[in-house]
Structure 1
Amino acid sequence: MHLAKPGRFIDPFTDFGFKRIFGSEPNKDLLIDFLNQLFAGEKYIIDLTYDKTEQNGPLSADRKVIFDLLCTGADGEQFIIEMQRIRQEFFKDRCLYYVASLIRDQVPISTKSWNYRLKPVYLIGIMDFCFDETDRHFISKVMLKDDKGKAFYDKLTFIYVEIPKFKKREEELNSELDNWLFLLKHMNNIDKLPLFLRRPIFKKLFDIAEVSNLNKQDKMAYDASVKQARDLYATKETAWNDGVMASKRETAKKMKEKGLSDELIMEVTGLSESQLAML
């Protein structure tokens, strides 16, 4: 995850930035173009309708589900688009819960006869972190398949984009999807629209993403969104550091119990002499 200093253009990984770029009816051509590049010809989206992002279950006791973005395609297929900035331990579980909730809501309430036919559901996760540190491709497509790798069910698809794994430089970009991912990763520290992004769709994106084009109310909302992202990052970072320090202290205690020298303990754990003395 990266937290760049505020730049000329909004950070697409803030809640405000993500929804300003992808989440409004006047700008839905941006989302359609991005998704079509992501599907790479396997599916072509003609139009999208934005749906309510807060969904209630059929029972009053059901937990509410709040999506980042929820859209319906021209053929009734549904798209959940989730932007996740900070690593979440059960992010995959959350994604599965989201699609399960959406599938459940396809069940007609008043119809007595229903043949169980479902419409396709797609979840697209745009992540500013990685599931792991492997060198696998930055896009993962997950579907239901049998033990021989043959597709078992083609109406449920997860697509995860791990932005930190996208490491291509400008001269290495060779597709419109590459351009999109480069833009999402670097937009917060770009000073001007690069020549290779002069396609009209990107010109529109830069126009709506320029901080100086925000009205007073939107600028306040964006500043609040940036502050929220930084506060959350700081909280997670503090928790991580506290956990690391606790682990070091525990290791040092065990080494002390075994009679190992202070010098060796400090070398192994990285604790200072004063920190070691406090154990």
Structure 2
Amino acid sequence: MAELLNPRNDFLFKRIFGSEENRDVLLTFLNRTFIEAGKPALTEIILLNPYTEKDAPRDKQSILDIHAKTDEGELINVEMQLFNKYDTEKRTLFYWSKLYSGQLQEGQSYKLLKKCVTINILNYSFLPNEHYHNVFHLREDRSGIPLIDDIELHFLELPKLDDHAVPVENGGLVNWLLFLKGADKSNWEVLKMNEPVLKKAMDTLEFLSQDTEARRLYEDRQKYLHDEASMIEGALAEGEARGEARGEARGEALGKRKKAVEMAKELLTLGVEVSIIARASGLSESEILDLKNK
């Protein structure tokens, strides 16, 4: 049997969770996420951008996150992030705002705006706590009263899931995250027993892992993701190097000026003419006169 592909690859993630035939997989995953956050379960979900052949990973413009809508009209966006693109919080708010504002046509009332939920599944640690599932809302600082319930942001951080975490009986979000994290396949039977719909996700992963075309597209996307991550890391490193170089140059300039000022002061005490001191120190005559007056 072919080696299993990585379900954290966003192309593969969308094939497993964002296709019409696996809509029940997405619904169950969302319900496990919401129930753990103390929210009621959904009864139905509508895929707004189901996986199609147009999602080919060779097209860098492909949108490989998942857009869905509840039967009450609330919008949900699920994104898998294999590598840290940095500015995660700002990117999250930016895409949430586009989702929220994009609901209205020109001239329509704000009352038509529905709640938007963003779920970011991160393959890296992001928030400074030990919780693998964090949820954010818009609330008043002191009293905690909500301003409006229209914004809800979930961050699921896979590295914070203990490597020794065990499957939860009767189902739970941990089971799904263990699957996405790449849990030892020896635990799959336990996961399947505790979470029947998860079996369908596992079967889909096994099928795609043995499909030649799916593996080729997966490798294309994996290469693009690695190249993008390397480019971002390179740009950050270059920026840091430039900052250090500017700091060193600024320090050298300050050091030279300090020496020039000390020289000018000493020459002034010896009664040397201002014009001569200016040529010797590199300072302007007005700067030297200021020093003389002080």
TM over 0.5: yes
User: Is 1:28 aligned with 2:12?
Assistant: no
2:116 alignment partner in structure 1: 121
- 1:232 Cα deviation (Å)? 2.9
Q: 2:177 aligns with which of 174, 177, 181?
A: 181
Q: CA deviation at 1:239?
A: 4.8
Residue 94 of structure 1 deviates from its aligned partner by 1.9
Output aligned runs, 1:111-260, within 5 Å. 114=109, 116-132=111-127, 134-147=128-141, 148-171=143-166, 173=168, 176-187=172-183, 190-191=184-185, 194-198=188-192, 199-210=195-206, 214-239=210-235
The answer to whether the 8 A contact 1:207-1:213 is kept is no
More helix by share: 2
Q: Aligned to 1:194, what secondary structure does the other structure show?
A: helix
Q: Measure the CA separation in 2 of the matches of 1:88 and 1:221.
A: 22
Residues 68 and 81, structure 1, Cα contact 8 Å, conserved in 2: yes
User: Once the two structures are aligned, what percentage of the paired residues are identical?
Assistant: 26
Aligned-partner SS, 1:210 = helix
Matched-pair contact (CA < 8 Å) for 2:79–2:121: yes
From 83, 86, 100, give the equivalent of 2:83. 86
* Alignment RMSD: 3.3
Q: Decide which structure has the larger Cα Rg and report it.
A: 2
Q: Which amino acid aligns with 1:195?
A: E
Asked if the contact 1:211–1:219 (Cα under 8 Å) also holds between the matched residues in 2, the reply is no
Q: Give the alignment partner of residue 40 of structure 2, picking from 20, 40, 43.
A: 43
Q: Is the CA contact (8 Å cut-off) linking 1:9 and 1:211 kept in structure 2?
A: no
Could you say which residue in structure 2 is the equivalent of 1:266? none
Structure 2 residue identity aligned to 1:226: Q
Contact kept, 8 Å, 2:104 with 2:112, in 1: the verdict is: no
Structure 2 unmatched ranges of 5 or more: 51-60, 256-294
- Whichever residue aligns with residue 156 of structure 1, its letter is I
More contact order relative to length (CA 8 Å, sep ≥ 6): 1
Match of 2:69 among 68, 72, 76: 72
Alpha-carbon distance change, 241 to 105 in structure 1, aligned in 2, over 3 angstroms:
closer
Deviations 1:41-95 (A, max 9, x none): 5131122212148xxxxxxxxxx99571111111111001111222233222222
Aligned residues: 236
